[in-house]
A = this chain, B = another copy of it.
């Protein structure tokens, strides 16, 4: 079962393109699928930029290694063609339940019987999707962190129906693609990382909204007292304030609603979206 060699990644957005490039960089033959030629053109740009990021930031990424990674990547807008020989299909399409279910219904028909399916969903449980895969025993979640060349964890989380041998094969694949596999033993919304990070970020938001301290003071406290390189508001800026807004505004909790409103008024409406826009809680 440690025989995952041919990888297909569905979706070439921020995470999908990183997932595809990371595996290609580690020698896997990777097919990246997206819906049309326009999306594929954007994917080509993302891969070129990622090659530059790896050369600048990843040890041993010179001497033709990123060129080899690019050569390992094949792009297609034909789903049947994309998965024709896949050992593993990683789904990284937008976080819309109906869209994902539709993708799995098609995959179930088009992919070979040997193919394992893995969802990179941050917000859905694999149980929400398993019944649409046609192969619940060969389906699980494989969840990447953003900037995977640096934050190189891959959280592996099955359902009660996932075959343990499939779980083990995906753990091996994660390790073989340069990631530290995080083996999760029970389905849990937020996996391990977000289950830890969200309460910290919520607590920081609460201190700000209650007027206890400002973001710089809160971050400084966290950095000095724990030795962490970044405080919670620096993490918000990296995650992006639009994403933080979307998460907070979709929560029924009154504190989260208030924080969403605060983000909108003080930051998002002024174009301050975090690191990506050059300013959020900090200037970059």
- A-side interface residues toward B, CB under 8 Å? 145, 151-153, 155, 180, 182-186, 188, 192-193, 195-200, 202-204, 206-207, 210-213, 217-218, 220-222, 224-230, 232, 235
Residues from chain B with Cβ under 8 Å of A213 in the complex: 182-185, 192
Taking CB as reference atom, which chain B residue is nearest A232?
Answer: B196
* Interface pair A217/B186, CB less than 8 Å apart: no
Chain B nearest CB: distance from A242 CB in Å? 21
* Interface pair B227/A230, CB less than 8 Å apart: yes
Q: How far apart are the CA atoms of A192 and B208 in the complex, in Å? A: 10
Residues from chain B with Cβ under 8 Å of A210 in the complex: 186, 188
Residues from chain B with Cβ under 8 Å of A151 in the complex: 224-225
Taking CB as reference atom, which chain B residue is nearest A227?
Answer: B229
Enumerate the 7 nearest inter-chain pairs by beta-carbon distance, A residue then B residue, closest first.
Answer: A199-B199, A228-B228, A227-B229, A192-B221, A199-B203, A188-B212, A200-B200
Q: How far apart are the CA atoms of A228 and B228 in the complex, in Å? A: 4
* Interface pair B212/A153, CB less than 8 Å apart: no
* Interface pair A180/B220, CB less than 8 Å apart: yes
Of residues A145, A185, A210, A232, which shows the largest number of chain B Cβ atoms within 10 Å of its Cβ?
A185
* Interface pair B193/A203, CB less than 8 Å apart: no
Residues from chain B with Cβ under 8 Å of A227 in the complex: 228-230
Residues from chain B with Cβ under 8 Å of A199 in the complex: 199-200, 202-203
14 contacts between A and B (CB under 8 A): A152-B224, A153-B225, A155-B221, A184-B217, A186-B211, A188-B207, A188-B210, A193-B221, A195-B212, A196-B203, A196-B222, A199-B199, A199-B200, A227-B230
Q: How far apart are the CA atoms of A180 and B224 in the complex, in Å? A: 9
* Interface pair B180/A192, CB less than 8 Å apart: no
Partner of A192, one of B153, B207, B228, B235: B207
Q: How far apart are the CA atoms of A202 and B202 in the complex, in Å? A: 13
Residues from chain B with Cβ under 8 Å of A221 in the complex: 153, 155, 182, 192-193, 196
Residues from chain B with Cβ under 8 Å of A200 in the complex: 196, 199-200, 203
* Interface pair B203/A218, CB less than 8 Å apart: no
Taking CB as reference atom, which chain B residue is nearest A181?
Answer: B217
Residues from chain B with Cβ under 8 Å of A182 in the complex: 213, 217, 220-221
Residues from chain B with Cβ under 8 Å of A203 in the complex: 195-196, 198-200
Residues from chain B with Cβ under 8 Å of A206 in the complex: 195
Q: How far apart are the CA atoms of A155 and B225 in the complex, in Å? A: 11
* Interface pair A193/B145, CB less than 8 Å apart: no
Taking CB as reference atom, which chain B residue is nearest A200?
Answer: B200
Of residues A188, A230, A232, which shows the largest number of chain B Cβ atoms within 10 Å of its Cβ?
A188
Chain B nearest CB: distance from A135 CB in Å? 24
